[in-house]
């Protein structure tokens, strides 16, 4: 018997608009160092690679280049603050839960593959009441590698009980496009997330601007692959 088809989602900027809490924490930490805040419009495209790259890019933006030990301390303080404020302002994107309901009702398993730490991902999804929807929630520290290494995506699918040949990826960044391409998986790009390069320029297999369009985009890709006959 074939496993259920599966849709794997990125988290920040794809499932959840986490930028308000991530940027609030960033600027709270910068303030303790006497560093001017980073405007939200500047900080949003820095999100997606994980907390440490976010800090490094923000500090570079302000002309600060701390050593390794200082970065370690800033990182630890960021995580401590963020985990206490992880869902103060973060919310699912409009239409998400209805789209997940429709996918689940058509027999699709759901999973998360993110470069957020696994514990923080679980804490966020727990706070928003979404954890139970996903067969696997895997972060940058779940496996020995992280996105865009394709094994991260393959292992997430395996952990969720799925099969790479019956999978679709959904993401908001170049990293998500790269990991899906490397794993040989079709990818849907959302144009409302966090990326320096407009999603349309990254040439996903399908591009959506609202979660209302997601189920039909998934069904279309799965029909096109011939891996699972389904009528939208």
What are the catalytic residues?
Answer: 10
What burial class does residue 12 get, using C-beta atoms within 10 Å of its C-beta: 0-12 exposed, 13-18 middle, 19+ buried? buried
210 is written with which tokens? 């609202």
Q: Where are the alpha helices (DSSP H) in 40-195?
A: 40-43, 51-61, 68-84, 96-105, 118-127, 150-159, 174-183
| CB of 17 closer than 8 Å to CB of 90 | yes
Q: Name every residue whose Cβ is closer than 8 Å to that of residue 45 and which is 6 or more positions away in sequence.
A: 194, 195, 196
Q: How far apart are CA 154 and CA 180, in angstroms?
A: 9
CA atoms within 13 A on the CB side of 56: 11
């Amino acid at each position: 018997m074939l496993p259920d088809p599966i849709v794997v989602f990125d988290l920040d900027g794809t499932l959840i608009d986490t930028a308000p809490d991530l940027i609030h924490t960033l600027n709270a930490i910068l303030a303790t160092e006497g560093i001017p805040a980073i405007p939200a419009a500047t900080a949003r495209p820095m999100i997606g690679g994980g907390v440490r790259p976010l800090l490094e890019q923000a500090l570079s933006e302000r002309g600060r280049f701390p050593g390794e030990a200082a970065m370690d301390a800033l990182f630890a303080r960021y995580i401590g603050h963020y985990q206490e404020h992880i869902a103060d302002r973060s919310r699912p994107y409009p239409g998400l839960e209805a789209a997940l309901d429709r996918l689940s009702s058509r027999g699709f398993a759901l999973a998360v593959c993110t470069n957020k730490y696994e514990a923080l991902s679980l804490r966020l999804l727990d706070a928003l009441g979404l954890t139970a929807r996903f067969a696997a929630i895997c972060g940058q520290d779940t496996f020995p590698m992280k996105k865009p290494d394709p094994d991260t995506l393959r292992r997430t699918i395996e952990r969720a009980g799925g099969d790479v040949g019956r999978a679709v990826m959904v993401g908001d960044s170049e990293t998500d496009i790269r990991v899906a391409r490397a794993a040989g998986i079709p990818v849907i790009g959302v144009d409302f997330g966090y990326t320096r390069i407009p999603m349309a320029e990254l040439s996903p297999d399908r591009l959506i601007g609202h979660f209302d369009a997601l189920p039909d985009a998934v069904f279309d890709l799965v029909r096109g692959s011939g891996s699972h006959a389904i009528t939208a």
